[in-house]
Amino acid sequence: MNPRLRRCLNALLYGGLPLWGLLFVSCVMVRRPMFSPPQFTAGPMAGAQFVGSKECAQCHEEKVRSFGGATHSKLLAPGENAKNVGCESCHGPGSKHVQSGGEAGTIINPRQSPATCFECHADKRGEFALANSHPVLAGKVSCADCHNPHQGEMVIGGGARNLASMNDTCFQCHPSQRGPFVFEHEALRENCTTCHNPHGTVNAKMLKSRNASLCLQCHFQQQTATGQIVIGGRDHAGSLIRGTCWSAGCHEAVHGSHVNSSLRF
Ligand code: HEC
Ligand code: HEC
Ligand code: HEC
Ligand code: HEC
Ligand code: HEC
Ligand code: HEC
Ligand code: HEC
């Protein structure tokens, strides 16, 4: 058993009630990545061993070279354990793949299944299971459509050094949000993720919020003594009861409009 887990269990069994609060903090709240690279007991990869990233360089030289600057290369720890958290942290143990000279079916390709990503990012499995999410579990969209595992920033377009923007990734599959619009909504100059969670949410269209608070992140709302609710210089008291800001007849063209400066349609 993992010694850390054993310590927690022992404390749970013998520590008594006063320890519970403390335990919650020490077992659960510690921000430390847990590594558990995939292992296999059945299928063509059964019994495969970890061989280390150096072995991969024989045949995938370019990938190994560029990996030095990738987000996940920081997971390479020094020492004997290191070989378990390089390329094989996502691709699984590679001995059979190497021995066979790269035969099909001897190594995991996460494009086919995000299962190895979930080994370390368990919370993401939950997000993609939500009612409104990108169809990753159905195999129609891959983590690799928006993430770059081998080189540079893992979030494509993320990070200060990037020339491409995060939105460009979204436009590849959602061209109608790209514009240019006659009346653009300046909100889109920031990221799509201001309003959408790209993994999934409980709200329709993967929106981060289902009500006006989505828009009030940036638009100031002021209540006057006479009962007016002023947003964007206009009284909205009569409008807010009609539904969300983007309901029919209101700001339907929330991504930008070709005809109306108030993004009505
Ligand atoms: C002896 C040469 C050789 C070595 C060593 C090797 N590979 Fe491969 N690998 C290949 C060949 C050949 C292919 C199939 C053609 C291609 O995609 O380049 C392949 C394909 C792959 C694929 C795609 C598989 C698929 O089904 O889409 C992955 C992932 C992969 N290798 C990862 C690794 C990793 C990780 C290592 C180190 C543990 C490694 N390889 C070591 C030769 C090798
Ligand atoms: C963070 C997880 C992760 C790590 C670490 C990782 N890969 Fe990959 N690898 C992927 C994903 C995801 C794909 C599918 C990418 C795609 O289809 O665009 C992939 C695809 C591949 C492929 C086949 C497709 C291609 O692009 O040629 C090879 C070969 C490969 N990886 C080798 C490696 C090697 C060698 C290393 C270590 C230097 C490595 N990978 C480290 C996630 C990872
Ligand atoms: C062995 C464990 C492990 C595996 C497997 C793994 N990750 Fe990660 N990943 C991590 C850790 C730890 C971090 C945090 C690294 C950091 O903050 O520098 C991280 C960070 C990330 C980030 C955030 C990067 C950023 O700039 O904030 C993304 C996105 C990500 N991983 C996606 C993936 C995807 C997609 C896969 C599968 C192809 C995957 N990961 C597989 C451990 C893993
Ligand atoms: C439709 C595009 C898209 C897909 C598909 C996608 N991601 Fe992401 N992911 C993003 C974006 C964009 C961010 C950055 C969010 C931000 O900065 O607000 C992100 C951030 C992350 C992060 C770091 C921040 C966080 O939320 O914890 C992790 C980890 C991550 N993704 C893992 C995954 C995994 C694992 C998969 C596949 C199972 C996946 N993502 C599929 C777009 C995507
Ligand atoms: C590889 C293609 C691909 C990429 C990249 C992509 N998406 Fe999607 N997106 C899809 C697919 C497929 C659907 C599901 C459409 C459906 O169910 O009809 C979808 C659905 C959506 C929806 C819900 C649409 C609806 O009508 O319910 C939103 C919102 C969305 N994506 C936003 C984004 C954002 C934001 C990004 C960038 C972070 C992004 N997408 C990147 C393919 C993609
Ligand atoms: C200011 C908030 C906001 C931003 C920023 C934003 N969206 Fe949206 N998006 C919405 C709202 C609200 C809806 C729901 C519209 C509806 O239900 O009629 C939506 C709906 C969508 C849909 C579903 C189809 C549709 O038009 O109803 C897609 C796809 C989409 N957004 C993609 C994107 C992409 C890609 C970006 C970044 C370029 C982006 N969004 C930025 C608020 C936003
Ligand atoms: C990231 C910040 C941000 C978010 C979130 C945001 N907006 Fe905006 N919006 C702006 C900026 C900046 C402008 C241009 C300056 C201005 O008119 O206030 C603007 C302009 C507008 C305009 C045009 C005002 C006019 O008549 O000239 C409308 C309408 C609008 N937004 C509606 C919305 C709605 C509806 C939402 C929620 C779905 C929303 N905004 C969310 C930043 C944002």
Tokens 């430390």, residue located: 32
Asked if residue 83 is part of any domain, the answer here is yes
- Cβ(6) to ligand 6 under 6 A? no
- Residue scoring higher pLDDT (27 or 227): 227
Q: Which pair of structure tokens corresponds to residue 28?
A: 């659960």
Q: Ligand nearest 131 Cα, by number?
A: 5
- Is 208 in contact with 127 (CB distance < 8 Å)? no
Taking the C-alpha atoms of residue 237 and residue 244, their distance in angstroms, rounded to an integer, is: 13
Q: Ligand nearest 85 Cα, by number?
A: 3
Fill in the amino acid letter for 124: K
Residues 37 and 99 in one domain: yes
Total residues found in the chain within this entry? 265
Among 25-39, 70-84, 179-193, name the one with the lowest average pLDDT: 25-39
**DSSP assignment string, 205-247:** GGBS-SSTHHHHTTS-EEE-TTS-EEETTEE-TTTGGGSSTTS
Residues 172 and 105 in one domain: no
- Sheet with 221-223, strands from edge to edge, namely 221-223, 229-231, 234-235
Residues 109 and 178 in one domain: no
Taking the C-alpha atoms of residue 93 and residue 137, their distance in angstroms, rounded to an integer, is: 23
Q: Ligand nearest 37 Cα, by number?
A: 3
- Is 164 in contact with 157 (CB distance < 8 Å)? yes
- Residues 156-193 have pLDDT tens digits of 877 655 556 889 999 999 999 998 999 999 999 888 99
Asked if residue 135 is part of any domain, the answer here is no
Asked if residue 22 is part of any domain, the answer here is no
Asked if residue 181 is part of any domain, the answer here is yes
Query: Which residue has the least CA distance to atom 6 on ligand 5?
Result: 170
Asked if residue 12 is part of any domain, the answer here is no
Paired with 241 in beta bridges are none
Q: Which of 91, 118, 145 is the last residue of a domain?
A: 118
DSSP conformation class of 76: -
Looking at the structure of the chain, the number of domains it has is 2
Query: Which residue has the least CA distance to atom 22 on ligand 7?
Result: 262
Q: Name the residue range of residue 87's domain.
A: 33-118
Closest alpha carbon to 106 in 38, 36, 46, 37: 46
Asked if residue 27 is part of any domain, the answer here is no
Pick the most confident of 70-74, 83-87, 188-192: 188-192
Residue 159 Cα, ligand 3 centroid: separation in angstroms?
A: 15
Asked if residue 108 is part of any domain, the answer here is yes
Q: Mutate which of 83, 107, 120 to test ligand 3's pocket (most atoms within 8 Å of Cβ)?
A: 120
Residues 245 and 171 in one domain: yes
Residue 72 Cα, ligand 3 centroid: separation in angstroms?
A: 6
Asked if residue 80 is part of any domain, the answer here is yes
CA of 212, closest atom in ligand 7: 37
For residues 91-112, average pLDDT: 92
* pTM of model > 0.85: yes
Alpha-carbon torsion, ordered 146, 152, 153, 159, to 10 deg:
-130
- Helix (H) / strand (E) element for 99: namely helix 95-99
pLDDT value of residue 181: 95
- Cβ(93) to ligand 3 under 6 A? no
Q: Which of 60, 91, 118 is the last residue of a domain?
A: 118
Q: In 10 A of CB 228, how many CB atoms?
A: 13
Q: Which of 97, 118, 139 is the last residue of a domain?
A: 118
Q: Which pair of structure tokens corresponds to residue 133?
A: 């999410």
- Is 240 in contact with 212 (CB distance < 8 Å)? yes
> 119 falls in which pLDDT band (50, 70, 90)?
confident
Query: Which residue has the least CA distance to atom 19 on ligand 5?
Result: 134
CA of 204, closest atom in ligand 5: 27
